[in-house]
Structure 1
Amino acid sequence: MLKKPGLDEYAPYYEKYVSSVPEGDLLQILDEQMKETINLVKDLNEDQAHFRYAPEKWTVKEVIGHITDTERIMSYRLLCIGRGEMAELPGYDDNQYVKNGKFNRFSIGELSAQLSQVRQNTISLLKSLDDEALLGRGNANGTGVTARAIAYIIAGHELHHRTLIKDRYMGAESFGGAHE
């Protein structure tokens, strides 16, 4: 079973994600999280899926697309570092990715299916890495990180955005009353 990474295994920015992951079997947590996120959004109508809680914020669809794209990128980093890559891995501009992803053209079901597929691939990748690989260190976006830390960042990132969907989107008076 994976143990939470130490503070020296990732940049301070990621502490909010890593610390939010509950104790337990990370593979099981990742599987359950994906189901919870999909259950949260699966019954949204189109108006709700296009809802923004503020004018400059992403829609619910864009948030789901963002979670999926970020997990794709983080899983690539997990693979690279787990396999011993020593080259610095690039960062990315999440706002640009959301803009160019054009997620609002997809149904919430299509976006949920993509998230599920990506998550299953992440879980399969994690299962393929042994303890030595998980403790491997690399450099992503200009900072040192272990493969193990990336796995926890993935889990914490999804949890962070699911909480935002519940609180700021579904909790808004103008959301439409679904999922109260």
Structure 2
Amino acid sequence: MLQRPLENEYPEYYVPYVNLVSDGDLLPILKENLDATIALFEGISEEDGHFRYAPGKWSIKEVLVHMTDTERIMAYRLLRIGRGDQTPLAGFSENDYINGSQFNQLPIKNIIEDFIAVRKSTITLIQNMPEEAWIRKGFANDKEITTRAIAYIILGHAIHHCNIINERYLSVLK
């Protein structure tokens, strides 16, 4: 079972994400979160997918695109650091990724399918990571981080955004 990372294994700005992950075996929790995320977004109509709870905020579809892009990038970091690659990894601008996406032209169903594919890939990556890889350290965005911290951040980030969808978007739409 993958152990929860210590706070010195990741930058402080990830603490809220890691804290959202409940104790227990991470793989079943990742799978449960996948099911919950699918259920959440499948309940959103195409029209509501364009809803923004305030001017300048992302639409529901943009939030899901962001969740998917971030998980894809973080899984890549997990792979590189977990395999012992010591090459520093660059940061990324989440807004650049949203601006470079074609979410408006895609049905929400397609965006959900992309998230599912990425999450399933993340799960197999974590399942097949050797035990000794979890405490390996690397640098991403000029900050030191461990492989196991990245796994927890991936899940915590998804939980964070699902909470926001429920609290700031769906509460207004209902």
TM-score band (shorter)? over 0.9
**Per-residue CA shift, 1:18-43, capped at 9, x if unaligned?**
01100111011111101101101103
Which sits farther off after the overlay, 6-15 or 105-114? 105-114
**Per-residue CA shift, 1:104-150, capped at 9, x if unaligned?**
22111111111011000001001111221111000000100000000
| Correspondence 1:69 to 2:50 | no
Q: Distance in 1 between matches of 2:57 and 2:104?
A: 13
Q: Distance in 2 between matches of 1:82 and 1:46?
A: 38
Partner of 1:170: 170
Q: Distance in 2 between matches of 1:77 and 1:53?
A: 32
Identity of aligned residues (%): 46
Partner of 2:36: 36
What is the Cα-based RMSD across aligned positions, in Å? 0.8
TM-score of the superposed pair, with normalisation by structure 2:
0.98
Structure 1 consecutive aligned stretches of length 4 or more whose deviation exceeds 6 Å: none
**Structure 1 residues not aligned, in runs of 5+:** none
SS at structure 1 position matched to 2:24 = coil
Q: Distance in 1 between matches of 2:66 and 2:140?
A: 18
One-letter identity of the residue aligned with 1:19: N
Q: Distance in 2 between matches of 1:69 and 1:138?
A: 21
Partner of 1:115: 115
TM-score of the superposed pair, with normalisation by structure 1:
0.95
Question: How many residues get paired?
Answer: 174
One-letter identity of the residue aligned with 1:30: L
**Structure 2 residues not aligned, in runs of 5+:** none
Partner of 1:89: 89
